[in-house]
Amino acid sequence: MSSQSNENINSFESDFLFDPQVGLLALKGQALVLMRHLDSLFLQWATEVNAMEYAFPPLLSVSSMNLVDYFSSFPHLATLTSQIDASDNGIQKFVEANKNVDLSEIKPDYLDSARYVVPSAACYAVYNHFRNQQLSNNLYITVCCSCSRHEDYYKAGERQWVFNMREIVCLGQKDAVKAFLDFYQNLISSKLQAANFPFKLAEATDPFFNRRDPRLLMQRLEPLKYEFLYRDQLAISSVNFHRDFFGSRFGINSQDGEVAYSGCVAFGLERWLSSCLQEYGQKLDDWPKVFQL
C-alpha cells in the first residue's frame, strides 16, 4: 500500500468505530456519506436492467435457509437469533436470576430455540419471497441488506461480522440469467478500468464448511462465481451463476414452466468504501467521473 493510501485510510479511521474482537463497525461523517453515495451508484447501475428495488427484513427463518442446505454448507458463518423464553415462568425465572447482575451474556437456559438467522448474503431473501411461484417474465430485482458472517478474524472495512451488501438479481430463464451476468461482468470491468482502479477478475468458490462438498467440486469444474479483487486480494464484488439451484429448492418456475434459473451481482459496500478511500481519498470531487452520479 502506498504512503498516500495509508494517509487516506488513516483519515478515514477517524470516521468509524471498530471493535476487532467481534467485527462490529460503526460509521459517521464523510465515511457514511461516501458509503451511501456508493450504494446510490450501484442502484443507478441496477437501472440498466430496470431492476425493481425491494426492501426485506434482515432475518430469514431457519426452515427457509434449511431448504438450501445452509446449515450443512455454511454453519460456520451463521448468526442465529433467539429471545428470552416468552412463557410467564421463563420470563420470571430470567428476571429473578439476573436481578442486580452486571450482564455480559445470557445463558442458553433462558432462551427459546433459535428460529431465525441473519443471512450471509442479500439475495436469499429474494428467492424466499418468490417461493412456490410461477413467473410471468424474467425478473430483475435489487436489494440492500445487512448481512452477517462469522470470520476467523476481522478488519475494519474489509472483514466484519455485520456488513452491508447491495445485490442485483436475475430470476427466470437460463439464457436471460447468463446474459444478465455477462452484462454486469462487462459493466463493472469497464467502470473499474475507466477509474484506473487496480483490480483483477478471478474465478472463485463459495466458503463451504466441508471442503469435500460436491457443490464445491462442481464450482471448480464449471466456474459459477467470479470475484473482482482489489489489488489482487480483497473481493469487492462478485458475479454468481446459481443455475437452477434456488429455483428448484424454493419451487420457482420460469414463464416456460421450467425450474427458474438465477444469478446475482453483489457489491460489498464497506469493501468498496475502504478501497475507494485508499485510491482516491475522502473528497468525492477527487473521485473518478465514472464513480460520480
Backbone angles phi, psi at 100, to 5 degrees: 60, 25
Q: With the CA atoms of 265, 270, 272 and 274 taken in that order, what torsion angle do they form, in degrees rounded to the nearest 10?
A: -160
* Percent of the chain residues past pLDDT 70, beyond the cut: 89
Average of pLDDT values for 193-211? 78
Element holding 287 (H helix, E strand): none
Burial environment of residue 22 by CB neighbours within 10 A (0 to 12, 13 to 18, 19 or more): exposed
pLDDT for 208: 41
Within 28-115, strands assigned E span 52-54, 60-61, 79-81
Q: Which residue has the higher pLDDT, 215 or 268?
A: 268
Q: What is the pLDDT of residues 77-116, one digit of tens each?
A: 899 999 999 888 988 999 998 888 898 999 999 999 999 9
Domains of the chain: residue spans and CATH: 3-78+120-291 (3.30.930.10), 80-118 (no CATH)
* C-alpha separations of 61 from 29, 70, 116, 252, 265 in Å: 35, 11, 4, 18, 23
84 DSSP assignment? B
Range scoring the smallest mean pLDDT among 14-18, 227-231, 266-270 = 14-18
Whole-model pTM? 0.90
From residue 1, alpha-carbon distances to 4, 127, 131, 283, 284 in Å are: 8, 39, 46, 19, 21
Q: Average pLDDT of the chain? A: 90
pLDDT confidence of 209, banded at 50, 70, 90?
very low
